[in-house]
């Protein structure tokens, strides 16, 4: 990872969205995110979960996350949450069982809140910085290296798929769910798999020739300042207050 970062257009957009925002030291940001997510998961009260969701949204926007960007990313999650919630609510028959409805609402709120804060943690800072922070927090280098390479070459895989789809459309192929299209989809999947294997072998040989030994060098961690500790303590402290309220008051 080091200091010679290669940024994709998406990463550059993320950083430009944080223009003028004081960067947050990545280690404290990651620790704050982990504490917040686990704190949200431990809550059961729907109104406390609602408060935590409002807090996560406000805190993310205050931290420099663009509102449109946040909504766009959360919109991808909503269909999956809906598909999960509907069978859970209606699985006991009609009318819905109140306990099943409450359980579905709890899972929905927890997932939405946790995802909101997670998006904030990994946005507005290069992914390389966050992976370096993981290594500085003593996460095994093999894990962070695999994540980095998967992230980096995931974009190339997407480009390969888009190129293949354009080639199919140029040959007047219309995507559809029909048995006659299954052989084409099979050939497409097989071709992408073979290309991915060949690319991975080529990349590995190139990296080995340049001295790669299983881990990517990282730089020295940035000093943790008082403002970083304050930022990390704020969401963690807020969740602790909610947990105390639920355990003592409710």
pLDDT digits (tens, 9 = 90+) for 95-144: 777 888 888 889 999 999 998 988 888 877 777 777 777 777 777 777 77
pLDDT > 50? residue 7: no
* Residues of the chain above pLDDT 90, percent: 8
CB 199 within 8 Å of CB 191: no
Q: What is the mean pLDDT of residues 228-243?
A: 88
Q: What is the mean pLDDT of residues 139-151?
A: 74
Residue ranges covered by each domain of the chain:
9-134+222-249, 140-209
Residue 21 has pLDDT above 60, yes or no: no
| 194 preceded by a cis bond (ω within 30 of 0) | no
How far apart are the C-alpha atoms of 48 and 77, rounded to whole Å? 21
Average the pLDDT over each of 8-12, 158-162, 187-191, 198-202 and give the range with the smallest value.
Answer: 8-12
Res. 1 pLDDT band, cuts 50 70 90: low
User: Does 15 have pLDDT greater than 60?
Assistant: no
| Mean pLDDT, rounded, of the chain | 78
Percent of the chain topping pLDDT 70: 85
The pLDDT, as a whole number, for residue 170 is 81
Higher pLDDT, 233 or 6: 233
Task: Name residues whose C-beta falls within 8 Å of residue 135's C-beta, 6 or more positions apart in sequence.
Answer: 141, 144, 218
Cα–Cα distance measured from residue 29 to residue 121, given in angstroms and rounded to the nearest whole number: 6
Q: What is the pLDDT of residue 241?
A: 92
pLDDT digits (tens, 9 = 90+) for 168-214: 778 777 766 667 667 777 777 787 788 778 877 887 788 788 777 76
pTM above 0.85, yes or no: no
Contact criterion met (CB below 8 Å) for 41 and 242: no
pLDDT at 208: 80
Q: How confident is the model at residue 51 (pLDDT cuts 50, 70, 90)?
A: very high
């Amino acid at each position: 990872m080091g200091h010679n970062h290669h940024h994709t257009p998406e990463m550059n957009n993320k950083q430009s969205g944080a223009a003028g925002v004081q960067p947050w030291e990545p280690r404290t940001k990651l620790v704050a995110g982990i504490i917040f997510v686990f704190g949200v998961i431990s809550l059961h009260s729907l109104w406390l979960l609602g408060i935590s969701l409002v807090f996560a949204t406000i805190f993310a926007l205050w931290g420099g996350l663009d509102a449109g960007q946040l909504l766009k990313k959360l919109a991808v999650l909503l269909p999956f949450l809906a598909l999960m919630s509907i069978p859970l609510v209606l699985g006991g028959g009609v009318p819905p069982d109140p306990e099943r409805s409450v359980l579905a609402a709890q899972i929905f709120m927890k997932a939405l809140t946790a995802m909101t804060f997670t998006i904030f943690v990994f946005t507005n800072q290069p992914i390389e910085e966050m992976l370096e922070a993981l290594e500085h927090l003593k996460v095994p280098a093999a894990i962070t290296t695999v994540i980095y390479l998967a992230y980096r070459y995931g974009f190339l895989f997407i480009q390969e798929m888009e190129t293949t789809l354009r080639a199919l459309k140029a040959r007047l192929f219309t995507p559809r769910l029909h048995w006659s299209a299954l052989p084409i989809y099979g050939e497409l999947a097989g071709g992408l798999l073979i290309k991915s294997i060949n690319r991975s072998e080529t990349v590995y040989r190139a990296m080995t020739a340049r001295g790669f030994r299983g881990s990517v060098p990282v730089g020295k961690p940035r000093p943790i300042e008082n403002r970083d500790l304050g930022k990390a303590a704020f969401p963690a402290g807020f969740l602790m207050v909610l947990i105390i309220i639920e355990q003592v008051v409710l």
